Amino acid sequence: MKKIALFFMVLLPFFVSAESLFYYSNGKKIPLAETSGYTFIDGRVTKNANALPKNLKFMLRHENIFLFEKLTDANIKELSQYGHILPAYKRNGGEKVYASGMMFVKIQNVSDIEKWCESKGLSFVKKFKYAPDWYLVKTTENPIKKSVELVEKKIAAQAEPSFFMNFEKRTYIPNDTLFANQWHLYNDGTNTAVTGSDSTHVAEAWDVMLKIKGELGGSTVKLAIIDDGFDLTHEDFQGRFLAGHDFADGDDMPNPGAQDMHGTSVAGVAGGATDNGIGIAGACPNCQLIPIRMRMSGITSLDASAIEAFDWAANAGADIISNSWGPADNSGQTVDMNQTLKDLVANIATTGRNGLGTIILFAAGNGGESIETDGYASNPNVFAIGATKADGLRASYSDFGNPLDFMASSCDLDSSGGDGWAGGSYIDGIWTTDNMGSSGYNAGNEADGDALGNYTNSFGGTSSACPLAAGITGLVLFANPNLSKDQVYEIFKETSDKTGADTYDGNGFSMNYGYGRINACKAVKRAFELAETDVSAIECGGAINQSDPVNPDPGDTGDTGSHDPADTGDTSANPLCGNGTIDANEICDGNSLPCDQLAGAPKNGTAVCGTDCMSWDKSGCYNDGEGPSADVPEDNTPVVKDGSSGCALTLI
């Protein structure tokens, strides 16, 4: 009975008092009000720990913490014997959050954090590398009041409670039932199944990459994606993922849970395998993807998980971090990052990439509302990405406002209910990867993608626009790895197309479109220019080079551009090759290039254009301490050996 009595002594202020509740965030009071729901923190350490009495059903379990929507007085009385209970709260009058029994504290110049915690009746949980003065600690007291005490008594520079909160994926989850279909990458207006001719011009950017780098782009760039899980065994992700982490299950295998399919589709848009003869193409074909899983299945997620995810991505060396998630849309409330995450994001965006700054992108949101209510996408250290339709106009669901930065192509929505997703059906859906088989958006219905269920044709929202922009950012950084975050921003600001029936101000900004819809080709070309690479002969906006979507047959001396089962020596697809002009279907024509500008080539010497105008002859390239190959004449005229293939990398 002593434990029970103690419990009611502690909980009395929670459930009886009508006092004003608040906590401090960077010096500002954040109001709270108790509401329905409870957090139970199990304090048992016996073998029966975490076994709930009377088969109580919980909403969420995180280690020894359980969240309940409802508890009876009898439930409370019984659970109080094993740990302590905290109420749920409404934050800022609307957003529902659950206390976790933990706090973020900012302490400077502390030599032993564990001793410091012990002296204050706290328990040290962890520190964050990229938010060096912040620590996550546990308390057995009310974390709301304890955080206020630490601030008001100047025990800590800052302190705020850690909550479980709702993180929503930035896409429509469809309930209805490959490159030609991917209009968001290339759209010449001839696809009558698409309602417009606008796109982000990614395939044209690949052509630029082939001309300058000899590859489609991104092989030196690490792109982290934080989402709900990833089909690591998918046929279109083979060799695409680096080591990742799962903050939902606490392991290094961020596979999707039972209801998780969003991350697989997001990853496909950003960096699905390209030019492999199957499936779809990702915007950054060779970017190294870092998969990081958080819990985002419509139930609450611990805010510390987001902080851990960003910290993990930075430690993994991510150049770019893509986030197609955020606070719930149309909540009517402003939901901000806690100060720890703000500091961490600011630090990563400033000091990441060896001081050049990690580029963090967030989906703007799908509520058709002001982005200013979303403290994640509106954070000044991130790029907020909205969605434009196939006709270049803002999608009705895409959030707008002063914090909006750029747009990228995504689906349209037919919504008789006005802005947002409610009551809508897809138009011009985005084709991308899906959990293989029947566990994704497409359960194996050809009308929903492919008959095997490995791809979906109905992805979209700003959830798709964000990884598309992230993949394009990967191409830009591959073109010029010395660009700072701010320089990348200026490139997008300068080169984005001013689409839409909107008036842009003198600075090129629109409340509905930000600085415009990203143009990958123009952005990549500008990045090369800033690296002092001559791209004057390259024009954006022309036809793209397309060759066989499979590996060419041995001895194939010139693909026509379409696959033929008997394709063993087509007539030349380049009748203009040799005229000294780099035409739309060529990567070179009689010119040469320093070897250090070609991917996979030794850094000394000069590469010359191949006889097919579709490849670079790198036989004139050599490493330090070596000399030019004996096969290469002094004038660097290429030597074409018997059996060499005239086909370059293929685009699909």
Contact 326, 167 (CB under 8 A): yes
Mean pLDDT of 223-240: 95
Mean pLDDT of 326-334: 85
In the chain, pLDDT over 70 holds for what percent of residues?
A: 78
Residue 366 is predicted with a pLDDT of 93
Homologous superfamily, domain 202-430+459-530: Peptidase S8/S53 domain (3.40.50.200)
Kindly report, residue by residue over 156-204, the tens digit of the pLDDT.
999 999 998 887 655 432 232 388 899 999 998 888 899 999 999 999 9
**CA–CA dist 25, 21 (Å, integer):** 14
Residue 652 is predicted with a pLDDT of 18
Q: Which residue has the tokens 């993949």?
A: 471
Kindly report, residue by residue over 375-398, the tens digit of the pLDDT.
999 999 999 999 999 999 999 999
The partner residues of 594 in beta bridges, in order of sequence, read: 606
Between 230 and 17, name the one with better pLDDT.
230
Task: Specify the length of the chain in residues.
Answer: 652
pLDDT at 641 exceeding the cut of 60: no
Report the chain's mean pLDDT, rounded to a whole number. Answer: 82
Q: How confident is the model at residue 42 (pLDDT cuts 50, 70, 90)?
A: confident
Q: How confident is the model at residue 52 (pLDDT cuts 50, 70, 90)?
A: confident
Residue 315 is predicted with a pLDDT of 96
In DSSP notation, 537-589 reads T--SSSPPP---SSPPPTT-----SS--TT-SSPPPS-TTTTSSS--TT-S-S
Mean pLDDT of 62-76: 89
**CA–CA dist 55, 53 (Å, integer):** 6
Q: What is the SS3 string spanning 14-76?
A: HHCCCCCEEEEECCEEEEEEEEEEEEEEECCCCCCCCCCHHHCCCCEEECCEEEECCCCHHHH
For the annotated catalytic residues, the residue numbers are 227, 262, 463
Kindly report, residue by residue over 581-599, the tens digit of the pLDDT.
655 444 567 777 676 655 4
Kindly state the tokens that stand for 309: 């995810």
Q: What is the SS3 string spanning 575-633?
A: CCCCCCCCCCCCCCCCCEEEHHHCCCCCCEEEEEECCCCCCEECCCEECCCCCCCCCCC
C-alpha dihedral (247, 251, 253, 258), degrees to nearest 10 = -60
**CA–CA dist 81, 237 (Å, integer):** 49
Residue 370 is predicted with a pLDDT of 95
The answer, as to whether pTM is greater than 0.75, is no
Q: How confident is the model at residue 284 (pLDDT cuts 50, 70, 90)?
A: very high
Kindly report, residue by residue over 112-123, the tens digit of the pLDDT.
999 999 999 999
Residue 269 is predicted with a pLDDT of 98
**CA–CA dist 53, 64 (Å, integer):** 14
pLDDT at 559 exceeding the cut of 50: no
The partner residues of 35 in beta bridges, in order of sequence, read: 88
Q: How far is CA 286 from CA 237, 270, 334, 477, in A?
A: 11, 10, 38, 12
Residue 137 is predicted with a pLDDT of 96
Kindly report, residue by residue over 456-490, the tens digit of the pLDDT.
999 999 999 999 999 999 999 999 999 999 999 99
Q: What are the structural domain ranges in the chain?
A: 2-166, 202-430+459-530, 546-652
Q: How confident is the model at residue 415 (pLDDT cuts 50, 70, 90)?
A: low
Mean pLDDT of 415-419: 52
Helix (H) or strand (E) holding 250: none
